Structure 1
Amino acid sequence: MEENPSENKKGMWKLSVDGSSCLTGSGAGLVLTNPDGWTLEYALRFKFKATNNEAEWEALIAGLTIAKHLEVQRIEASSDSQLVVGLVNREYEAREDLMMKYLFHFQGMKSAFEVLRIVKVPRAENIRADQLSKLATAKE
């Protein structure tokens, strides 16, 4: 039985994530929106050095952790990271040990949600999360 697309969107939360790494630090931007349009925005600064890919994973995991604590059941997360989205959706194979660990952690989180989708979006559609991640990495 196929799901009705409009039914499918009912009760669906949206999570936009972006990770960022530069000389001044690494961080993440998260925008979590409930089905009624109520929005939470987070700028997270990491106290550890991270690559862009690691920061993207951290952003996704942090956003899903917040959603889990809010008892969200249906969520669609969007990221502009081709690697993270490709790994999660099994389009890519994790080859580096750290990427395997992030993927394993993510897979352990999936059971907290009734529906969990991860989609790739162009950077231009991820503007607010990108701005928040840049804010998080700005020099103090």
Structure 2
Amino acid sequence: MECMEEDPSESERGIWKLSVDGSSCNSGSGAGLVLTSPDDWTLEYALRFKFKATNNEAEWEALIAGLTIAKHLEVQKIEASSDSQLVVGLANGEYEAREDPMVKYLSHFQGMKSAFEVLRILKVPRAENV
């Protein structure tokens, strides 16, 4: 029996991609998210909030909605990208949540992390976001 070394990209296989973007203005707030499977099957969602949200709150809502959908699809590995420095910094433990809404979003996010074998949150430039 021949023994083959594990392919270095083996851990990268099966990773879903989640792109999120939130927005807030005087007329309302909402978010968009795109969830893409490893074989390029894509789900796109547009969310309109019935509550007033800041841009960062809208980003959190999009991230949590995307992760909730991924969890229901039994996704094990996911890489999420956002253009919000604050949300990415909080999610990765680089920033400390100080305002009550951010503390609550971070706590909710941390409670969801155990549903995934791999969960990475990346900061992307606004121009490259969905």
Match of 2:14 in 1: 11
Deviations 1:103-136 (A, max 9, x none): 000000001111111000111211x3xxxxxxxx
Aligned-pair identity in percent equals 86
| Cα offset, 1:90, TM superposition | 1.0
Moved over 4 A (4+): none
Question: What's the CA shift string for 1:70-117, capped at 9, x where partnerless?
Answer: 110100000000000000111111111110010000000001111111
RMSD in angstroms over aligned alpha carbons?
Answer: 1.2
Structure 2 residue ranges without an equivalent (≥5)? 1-5
Match of 2:124 in 1: 121
Residue 5 of structure 1 deviates from its aligned partner by 5.0
Is 1:79 matched with 2:82? yes
**Alpha-carbon distance in 2 for matches of 1:17, 1:100:** 20
Aligned to 2:45: 42
The structure with more radius of gyration: 2
Q: How does 1:58-137 map to 2 (within 5 A)?
A: 58-126=61-129, 128=130
Report the residue type matching 2:25 in the other structure. Answer: C
Give the superposition deviation at 1:8: 2.5
Q: How many residues were matched structurally?
A: 125
AA aligned to 2:123 is: K
- Relative distance call for 1:5 and 1:46 in structure 2 (3 A) is farther
> Of Structure 1 and Structure 2, which has the larger fraction of its residues in helix?
1
Give the number of the structure with larger relative contact order, counting CA–CA contacts within 8 Å between residues 6 or more apart.
1
Name the TM-score, length of structure 2 as normaliser. 0.92
Aligned to 1:131: none
1:133 maps to none
